[in-house]
């Protein structure tokens, strides 16, 4: 039975969120009614479903880690990236899970963090953008963030901006969440459940087929794939980033990369 409309689900493919089944078209934000079938995540509170934007707007008084969505405690140290806060343990690359510390260079897409090697704005990153320092003339016009120093949350220093060859640098801050609003024990016990995007069988088949011929589609290709799969370009970009990372791991596990091809990526 669909938790949204109450009717029996007869479709071959359906979504599962907060331990309930949904028709793809029935999983929507209860506040703005935006469809969530292609969203990277959704949030639940008191049996209601919210998109990230509305959840943060309605319940933003409770400061939460942007990655695990757990409440930040007043005595915890947190990392800041743009307007987002993270546990220090959660401040890691979305692709390779490399833990980032003060001084690490990283990029962000929404609330997702990427190390320098895996941050690929737009269609693709230059082939030389592999985590090694680049000469100023080689550096692409991308956003990067560098972990900064520790200080109380109650008096955060603003981001510092520096322009260098069209490259913007933002200094993330290691801060203490002492200034966070106190929440009741009942609120602290309420867990936020996060939903990862679910792909339908025919969507995965198209993505794998395309990945077998092109590991790094450009903006035009992503637009065409988005129309064919009904998935957003952002979802497609993250999927291809994860697929490339898994493919590289498979290559490294074989001697000289023999016998490995992109069709084995799931």
Q: How far apart are CA 103 and CA 106, in angstroms?
A: 9
What tokens appear for 229 in the block?
Answer: 């799969």
Per-residue pLDDT at 60: 65
Neighbouring residues of 12: CB distance < 8 A, sequence distance ≥ 6: 201
Per-residue pLDDT at 256: 56
Closest CA relative to residue 236, chosen from 226, 251, 224: 226
Please report where in the chains the tokens 């359906």 appear, as a residue.
Answer: 14
Extended strands (E) in 142-249: 143-152, 161-164, 167-176
Domains, in order of start, for the chain = 1-61+191-196 (2.10.110.10), 77-182 (2.10.110.10), 201-264 (1.10.10.60)
Q: How far apart are CA 200 and CA 8, in angstroms?
A: 19
Closest CA relative to residue 43, chosen from 23, 65, 69, 14: 69
Neighbouring residues of 110: CB distance < 8 A, sequence distance ≥ 6: 40, 234
What tokens appear for 94 in the block?
Answer: 């979305």
pTM: 0.30
Neighbouring residues of 9: CB distance < 8 A, sequence distance ≥ 6: 1, 2, 21, 23
- Are 164 and 144 in contact by the 8 Å Cβ rule? The answer is no
Each residue's pLDDT, cut to its tens digit, for the chain (266 residues) gives 888 888 988 887 788 888 888 888 888 888 888 888 877 778 888 888 888 888 877 776 567 788 888 877 777 788 888 778 888 889 999 888 888 887 778 888 878 888 888 887 653 332 333 333 222 223 333 333 333 333 333 333 333 333 222 233 333 334 443 333 333 334 444 444 545 566 777 787 888 888 888 888 888 888 888 888 888 888 888 888 888 888 888 777 775 544 444 444 44
How many other β-carbons are positioned within 10 Å of the β-carbon of residue 238? Answer: 19
For 236, list phi and psi in degrees, rounded to 5.
-65, -40
Per-residue pLDDT at 36: 86
């Amino acid at each position: 039975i669909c938790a949204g409309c109450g009717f029996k689900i007869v479709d071959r493919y359906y979504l599962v969120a907060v331990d309930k089944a949904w028709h793809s078209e029935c999983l929507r934000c209860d506040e703005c009614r935006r469809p969530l079938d292609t969203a990277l995540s959704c949030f639940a509170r008191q049996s209601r479903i919210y998109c990230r934007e509305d959840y943060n707007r309605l319940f933003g008084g409770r400061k939460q880690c942007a990655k695990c969505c757990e409440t930040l405690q007043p005595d915890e140290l947190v990392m800041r990236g743009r307007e987002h806060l993270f546990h220090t343990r959660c401040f890691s690359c979305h692709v390779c899970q490399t833990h980032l510390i003060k001084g690490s260079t990283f990029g962000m897409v929404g609330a997702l963090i990427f190390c320098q090697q895996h941050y690929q704005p737009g269609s693709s990153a230059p082939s030389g953008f592999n985590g090694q320092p680049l000469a100023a003339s080689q550096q692409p016009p991308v956003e990067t963030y560098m972990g900064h120093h520790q200080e109380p949350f109650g008096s955060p220093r603003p981001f510092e901006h520096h322009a260098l060859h069209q490259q913007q640098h933002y200094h993330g801050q290691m801060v203490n969440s002492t200034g966070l609003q106190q929440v009741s024990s009942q609120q602290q016990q309420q867990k936020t459940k996060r939903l990862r995007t679910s792909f339908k069988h025919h969507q995965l088949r198209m993505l794998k087929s395309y990945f077998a011929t092109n590991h790094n589609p450009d903006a035009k290709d992503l637009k065409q794939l988005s129309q064919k799969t009904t998935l957003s370009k952002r979802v497609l970009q993250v999927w291809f980033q994860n697929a490339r990372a898994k493919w590289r791991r498979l290559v490294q596990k074989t001697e000289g990369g023999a016998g490995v091809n992109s069709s084995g990526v799931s």
